[in-house]
Structure 1
Amino acid sequence: MTSPFYNPAPIFLDNTGKPVAGGFLYFSESGTTTPKLTWSDEALTIPNPNPVPLDSAGRANNNIWIKGSYSVRLTDSLGAMIWTRNVSDGSTGQAQFPPMESGKFLTNDGSAYLWDDVRQVPDPTGSANKILSTDGANLIWIAQQAIPASNASSGAGFLRIGDYMLQCGKSQCPATGTPATSTTVTIPVAYTQTPFVVATVGTFPFYTPSWGGAGVIMARPSSLNSIEVQMHGNAGTINSETIVVAPIDFCWFAFGKVT
């Protein structure tokens, strides 16, 4: 069997990645320095010189056909060796493969071929509902952890997560004809600890354009299931523009721990 040493003609490079201008390829019996012929034709009738010279671009100007196994040395123009490779007519200029090893795959370390362990995913047979994991050294199938059921619930006017609940609603403070008004709101679900409460309102009817002030609102928990909301005109002068002349709508919010 014969084989081309290369096809098409490569550029041979030195260890810095530069073309080996004017270098040489020495061919010898595999594992020895005994010269061995190569040929410029597939019929092996036209011998090549040995060493085969490279041109200024690092290429051999003639074809190189080989038969059998060889050791090949690449040198620079002064004869300094750059690398040595073992090739055969069953390869195309690469190093010979090492003897095969069962259960391993072919790889390389940058300069030679070698066999390495196959890191396969373990057989999933019998591992239904398991997920692939690792113990730091091996791939293993482990039982898939169940996602805990959600402990959150919600509805009209509430959001509960575990033992905590946010409740909200709307109510009114009544018209009083004075700068102040108040009311008590019952919270649907009682808290086990004093809740945090807030009340908010938009534009107050008791607003005083002349001095630019606005009414104030205050909310506090009056029990574990009620809120007291107070409003005041926040003006020093009591007149028709600073008194509560109509019911005032507001929204309330309560948050805390429940049973």
Structure 2
Amino acid sequence: MSGTRFYDPAPVMFGADGTEIANGGLLYFYELGTTTEKATYSDSDLTTANTNPVVLDSAGRAEVNIWLDGTYTVKFTDADGNAVWTRTVGADESDSDDIPTLVSGQFLTNDGTSLKWSDITQVPDPTDLTDYVLKSDGTQAYWAESDSTDADVDYSSTTIRVGGMLILMGSSSIGTGANVPTKNIDFPLTFDSAPKVYVTMTQNGVNSTGYSAIPSVSAVTATYFTITADSNRGVSIANALTFDYLAIGPYTAE
């Protein structure tokens, strides 16, 4: 338990010069920052209001107990109404720090003004729930079986397979001696259906007049694609046309 510090509940008030006891002095209590009167009370339950102003006796002490309800602007005058000081005075801060009655299974928090108990949001016990994932129904957290699996990945220097997707990488060349040579390139693995094929030239096929050939993919199946080279000049391709290709498509591993 903690103790409560003793303080003087009936201090002696002095006048403006600090030497004369404020016999008959007056304490006016207002809403904070206004001249609207605000009640103080003679009991801690705040049921019996004091007069406003509170009158000091001949010893310069308040004639009643003064219990506050929040924060006030307080004006202190002598018996003739001459102002001595005006101050902002707050209720005993310990009042707002009182710990409310304990509630089983809750934790102590605050709403910015006072302390309160609130529910504890905890992660449920994960015992025997290996590989489960944490989910929520909008109210409570719970563990559930994962609805995803790790991707099945295989790869080499020429193939990459991620789950049901296959990427093949290869190189080849197309022959010479024709105006528009054509060649079928077989895939080392069979796709489930025709993939997408992309060709990148690694050497231009140059004919005797210096023209470069233009490659194109003219047909694609699940097992091969056809590449065609064309100088677009009606002359034969003199040099071999080398290229790299990339094929991407669906694949079911055996």
**Does residue 138 of structure 2 align to residue 163 of structure 1?**
no
Once the two structures are TM-superposed, the CA of residue 231 in structure 1 deviates from its matched residue by: 0.9
Contact 2:184/2:224, CA 8 A, preserved across alignment: yes
> Quick one: distance in 2 between partners of 1:96 and 1:255?
68
Q: Which residue number corresponds to residue 237 of structure 2?
A: 244
**Does residue 133 of structure 2 align to residue 137 of structure 1?**
no
Q: Which residue number corresponds to residue 229 of structure 1?
A: 227
Once the two structures are TM-superposed, the CA of residue 170 in structure 1 deviates from its matched residue by: 0.4
The correspondence for 1:28, drawn from 21, 38, 42, is 42
Once the two structures are TM-superposed, the CA of residue 188 in structure 1 deviates from its matched residue by: 0.2
Residues 26-175 of structure 1 mapped to structure 2, 5 A cutoff: 26-30=40-44, 31-34=47-50, 47-48=61-62, 70-72=67-69, 74=72, 91-92=92-93, 94-95=95-96, 97=98, 100-103=101-104, 113=114, 115-121=116-122, 124=125, 126=127, 129=130, 133-138=135-140, 140-143=141-144, 145=146, 148-175=149-176
1:185 maps to amino acid: I
1:235 maps to amino acid: R
Once the two structures are superposed, residues 64-97 of structure 1 have per-residue CA deviations (whole angstroms, 9 ceiling, x without a partner) of xx8xx834584788xxxxxxx996xxx4474584
1:245 maps to amino acid: A
Q: Which residue number corresponds to residue 200 of structure 1?
A: 200
> Quick one: distance in 2 between partners of 1:156 and 1:168?
8
Higher alpha-carbon deviation: 121-130 or 215-224? 121-130
Report SS of the residue matched to 1:193. Answer: coil
Q: 1:4 to 1:205 in 2, by over 3 A?
A: farther
Q: 1:106 to 1:253 in 2, by over 3 A?
A: closer
> Quick one: distance in 2 between partners of 1:101 and 1:164?
60
Once the two structures are TM-superposed, the CA of residue 115 in structure 1 deviates from its matched residue by: 3.8
> Quick one: distance in 2 between partners of 1:222 and 1:29?
95
What is the aligned length? 207
Percent identical among aligned pairs is 15
> Quick one: distance in 2 between partners of 1:128 and 1:108?
35
Contact 1:195/1:221, CA 8 A, preserved across alignment: no
* TM-score, normalised by the number of residues in structure 1: 0.57
Say what the alpha-carbon RMSD is for the aligned residues.
4.6
Q: 1:115 to 1:246 in 2, by over 3 A?
A: closer
> Quick one: distance in 1 between partners of 2:123 and 2:214?
70
**Does residue 183 of structure 2 align to residue 183 of structure 1?**
yes
Structure 2: gaps (5+ residues): 10-28, 76-88
> Quick one: distance in 1 between partners of 2:230 and 2:39?
102
Structure 1: gaps (5+ residues): 6-11, 39-44, 51-65, 78-84
Contact 2:133/2:145, CA 8 A, preserved across alignment: yes
> Quick one: distance in 2 between partners of 1:222 and 1:256?
11
Contact 2:30/2:37, CA 8 A, preserved across alignment: no
1:217 maps to amino acid: P
2:163 maps to amino acid: G
Q: 1:131 to 1:47 in 2, by over 3 A?
A: farther
* TM-score, normalised by the number of residues in structure 2: 0.57
> Quick one: distance in 1 between partners of 2:7 and 2:136?
46
Contact 2:213/2:229, CA 8 A, preserved across alignment: yes
> Quick one: distance in 1 between partners of 2:62 and 2:200?
99
